Chains A and B, each alone.
Chain A
Amino acid sequence: MTTAKSARGQLEERVDRFVQWSFRDYRPVKPRGPKVINDSLLGNQYFSRHEVAVIDSPILQRLKRIKQTGLVYQVYPSATHSRFEHSLGTATIAERCLFAIQERAFVEWGKPIANFDRTKGDLAHLRMAAMLHDVGHGLCSHASEQIYELLSDLREFKQDERYAKNAPGEILSHLIITSATFRSWFEEYVKRDCQADLDLKLIGELVLGRHPDKGRYFLAQIVSSPYDADKLDYIARDSYYCGLALTVDLARFYSMISTAEQNGHRVLVLRSYVPLEQILFSKMTLFGSVYHHQKAKCLDNMLRATVQHISENARECKIKLDGAEISFADPVEYLYITDDEFFNQIQPLGDQFVRRMISRFRKRDLFARCLEISRRTVTRKSWESFGRKHLLDLADDLDSLDEAERKIRSALPDKVKRDCDRGEVLLSVPKRPNLKTDFAFVQTSPKAGIDTIEKFFPVEQWTEAYAHNKWRSYVYAPREHATAVRDAAAAVLKEEFRIEVDLGLSNENCYQE
């Protein structure tokens, strides 16, 4: 008797098919030796021979075609850095963290804490996990992650305590790393040809922030935790390429990092909370200035409308790419197509709507912001009612968001409605900035107690301050329909959500004819 495969099993199979597709015409060449790769942010980075084999593989090269900050380069033109350089940088920072911990271990306890061989043991696994931690990113990075995380395929994973702390992209990275096809390639070309003694299962666990040995849990935290190498790299890199003068004092951070025993686990601790305060402050600033910038949110939502249209009109719009057919029906389909392929196809893509949207992206002909929903623009009485909760629910439920947008379009005058496509009325409801995904520990000296970061400064206050002062929801539409969409949206928000927007205040920041 056969039983139906679980959604999880099916997703694993689809990921493996994607890895097979990625390696379809790849002819590996044995790397001659190690390489020095120069990085604008971190300087010279040294990669061992087996790491070069992985860097040269399609699974990592693909990341060159995915921008680190999605569509943000349309707002900050120099933010064209890719997931590829971030992945290499994360490996370098991970090693520097481990080196700093080792130095401190010698000073404080007079003995080493980890194995420092590049081809086997702690450092080798740590570097490889850091290099591969983002291979599960797809089209426009987090812009598409926000869409596919709400699809049902990943829900089964998120109900599993193993994956509770992980973002959808991390889960996909784990599935790619542990897929049969990648494992087989890795065994032959990395382990056998380059003589690296690496356990891919352990690397997959590290990417999830896990380690089977509790005494080495801090290694998993270097890859995934509130102050991991990923964050240290992307905060510095994103702010550098956006031209924002944010400070992550890496040298200071390395001098403060150590480990301590907590409930049988050896965990990362900081000897001072100041570096963590810097990280959180910079992250908060990046949310306000970059990730939640009103134009960036407009672009994210234009991408959502385009992808949604392709998904709903798969017969006419599906993308054919070297034997793969993509209609964004499940999270894995977002892996096949990168930013370069999606926006720069020589052959026209999809139907008239899709082609029009792609043309808008290419020309930076963005929709206009026509309504602002925020503490500043919403009347006090309705802001303090529970209507705001209904609005926020839309960020967690694509169907309800879709329904709300349809209602706004339905409320348009017939003449406007005829010329305004379903995908041209966009309601942006940003999620809360995730400042914290796990405990962050501070221990001021080896003999002091271990406290969580909240004991030193109020993380919750920052979340609340962001919510009150910076969070904004917007309605976007093509310029020619902006006024009509604004009025329709204001009416629907009042009727359906009990949210009354003061149009005079909203107009101060929005497009007006």
Chain B
Amino acid sequence: MATSVRSYPMPDDILTAILELARREKGADRLAFRGHDDELQSVFAELSKDPKRSLLRLFVFSDSGPRPYSPTLNDSVSKLQLAGFLGRQNPDYEVVFTTTAARDYYETVLSNIFSDDEKNQLSEIAKVFLSHIRSV
């Protein structure tokens, strides 16, 4: 897969890794949580405040407006939905769940892109992420 393996992560790769590591941390077959855009924006804005979480710098939050907003985060969620890594549950589509494609992608591709230090950072972020979201 020479064309498709990149040596650097895109923002949606970071998001995939966090969600997959959160799933592992939870020990569930799939991760399901309540995650309308405004909730995810708040959680990631909070997580990004810690400068040690350098991987989250890719999600740049605008400093204008009443609440921090990252179009990159919104776009990453859309991309992962389109890629089939994230699904949304009827009837209100508030519940987000991860799929096996996301799990396979982390195992096969992303785990080779991230260094051990980065994986440790992602695991820490995933743990805090779990404590911030409303799991289903």
Contact = CB atoms under 8 A, between A and B. Distances in A.
A460 B88 contact: yes
**Interface bracket on B:** 35 or more
A496 B62 contact: no
Given A383-B84, A388-B84, A460-B88, A161 B61 contact: yes
Interface in B60-97: 60-67, 69-72, 74-75, 77-85, 87-88, 92-94
A432 B70 contact: no
A390 B62 contact: no
A463 B88 CA distance: 10
Interface in A199-245: 208-211, 217, 220
A159 interface: yes
B31 to A, nearest CB: 16
Contacts of A265: 65-66
Given A389-B101, A392-B79, A438 B3 contact: no
B37 A161 contact: no
A404 B1 CA distance: 11
A439 B67 contact: yes
A262 interface: yes
A439 B65 contact: yes
A403 B62 CA distance: 33
B10 interface: yes
A467 interface: yes
Contact of B82 (A161, A384, A471): A471
A227 to B, nearest CB: 14
Contacts, number: 146
Interface in B36-71: 36-38, 41, 57, 60-67, 69-71
Contacts of B136: none
Interface string A491-509: 0100011100000000000
Contact of A392 (B6, B71, B83, B87): B83
A158 B60 contact: yes
B85 A461 contact: no
B36 A452 contact: yes
B96 to A, nearest CB: 8
Contact of B36 (A159, A393, A454, A463): A454
A471 B101 CA distance: 19
B47 to A, nearest CB: 16
Query: Most chain-A CB neighbours within 10 Å: which of B63, B66, B69?
Result: B66
B109 interface: yes
A403 B4 CA distance: 9
Query: Most chain-B CB neighbours within 10 Å: which of A263, A464, A471, A497?
Result: A464
Given A265-B65, A432-B75, A439 B38 contact: yes
B67 A436 contact: no
20 contacts: A160-B60, A209-B65, A211-B64, A386-B84, A386-B108, A388-B84, A389-B105, A390-B4, A397-B6, A400-B3, A404-B3, A436-B74, A437-B71, A438-B65, A452-B36, A454-B37, A459-B37, A460-B77, A460-B81, A460-B93
Interface of B: 1-4, 6, 10, 12, 36-38, 41, 57, 60-67, 69-72, 74-75, 77-85, 87-88, 92-94, 99, 101-102, 104-105, 108-109
Given A211-B64, A267-B66, A497-B4, 9 more contacts: A160-B60, A209-B64, A386-B83, A386-B84, A389-B83, A454-B94, A460-B37, A471-B82, A496-B4
8 A-B pairs with the lowest CB-CB distances in the bound complex, closest first? A390-B4, A386-B105, A263-B66, A389-B83, A467-B82, A164-B62, A458-B93, A461-B93
